[in-house]
Structure formats: C-alpha cells, structure tokens
Structure 1
Amino acid sequence: MTGLPTIKPDTDTWDWGEIVVFEAAIHSEGFEYAFDNYKPLFRRPELRAIEGDMGKLRDFMDTHRALLEAWEDEVGWEAYDKFYDDHLEQHREESARRREAAASGSPS
C-alpha cells in the first residue's frame, strides 16, 4: 500500500516496540479489539498520523507483518520475550502519562 510510513526493526526505537506489542495484541485478541484497547502510542510524526485511523493502521501492520515475523525468527524467542516485556512496561507508563496530561489539560 502506498502512502504508508515504513519502519525497520530496531530495538533501540520506541516505535518498533509499539509495533511488536501491538502485533502481539492483534495475534491474541484480533485487530479490532487490539485497536480499541491496545492502540500504539507512536512518537514519529508520520506514525502518529496513522495510529488513530483503523484502516491505515491495519494496512500498515499488514504491510509490516513479514518484517515482524522475520525479526522474531532472527532474535529468537527469549530475546523477543524480554524486549516485549520491557517495552510493554514502558508503554503502560507512557499511556498513564498521556492520560494524566490529558486530564490536566497539559500537552502530551
């Protein structure tokens, strides 16, 4: 699909972690439930532009699924699991921070 942002596997970037965690939620719960309950909190502007658009985010994830699977195979289960757990905790903290900022009227 044209017009969608691209991303490369990089365990040092926040957005790659968001994709890994969101893909796991999709795999476990299905796309619509994951979108409603585990939406990614991207930092790159071009990714933030699609995080709230179900159709564009679905297309983005579909486009990057093979890349995700190849990365999972490359790093192995233990490294994947540790990365996932570490990023999930960071995601929860960021989500709480954004909720608090929204409640207080501060920019996120």
Structure 2
Amino acid sequence: MHGIPEWASEGEVRTTGVPFRTTDAAAQIVALRQGLGIGTLPCFVGDADPLLVRVPGTDLHMYGTLWLLTQGETRKTKRVRLFTEFVSRKLVAYAPLLAGLPVSRD
C-alpha cells in the first residue's frame, strides 16, 4: 500500500526504490515538477499541469464509483436537490477528464 503499486511495474518504464515520500499532495506535485521522479496523481490533476506528462506505456486503472451521499431526508429539500442536480451535471460534463481521457489544451 505504501510502496510501489503492482501496476507501476506492468508498463514499459521500470521503477526501483522510492526516493521521496510525502503525504502532502502539493509537495508531491512540486517534487514531480522538479524532476525528482514519477508519482501517482489523478489524471485530471496531472493532465492539467503542462510541466507533467503521463508515463508512457502505462494503463489507466479505475478504482471505484463516485457516490454523492446526503443525510437522510435532506435530499428531498429543494436546496439539496438543486445542489445534487448541479453537481451531477458538472460530473457528466467532466466525465472524460475524470476517466483519464486526454483533453485538448485550447
């Protein structure tokens, strides 16, 4: 779990030890930008940064379904219903990005 995931060694690029560990996402992104090595980032984070590129020969791995949960009866209130409908529309619009598909950088 805290080492190198199995899928990291399935592609063309072979990994060795872990030279740098951090639990802070911002520190990880800064380290990757500085060329410290490779790291695991959600595609929508890594693809949005022009200084980062995907590791060639690696496959995307889906880890589960995104659920939007509400508290009991609150989902029936107009405010919560409007919010969940708004979030649902946004998620549909960003589905390709969240699925790791390449997006154009116009």
Same fold, judged at TM 0.5 (above) = no
Q: Which has the higher contact order (CA 8 A, sep 6+)?
A: 1
Computing the radius of gyration from Cα coordinates, the structure with the larger value is 2
Q: What TM-score results when the alignment is normalised by the length of structure 2?
A: 0.27
- Higher helix content, 1 or 2: 1
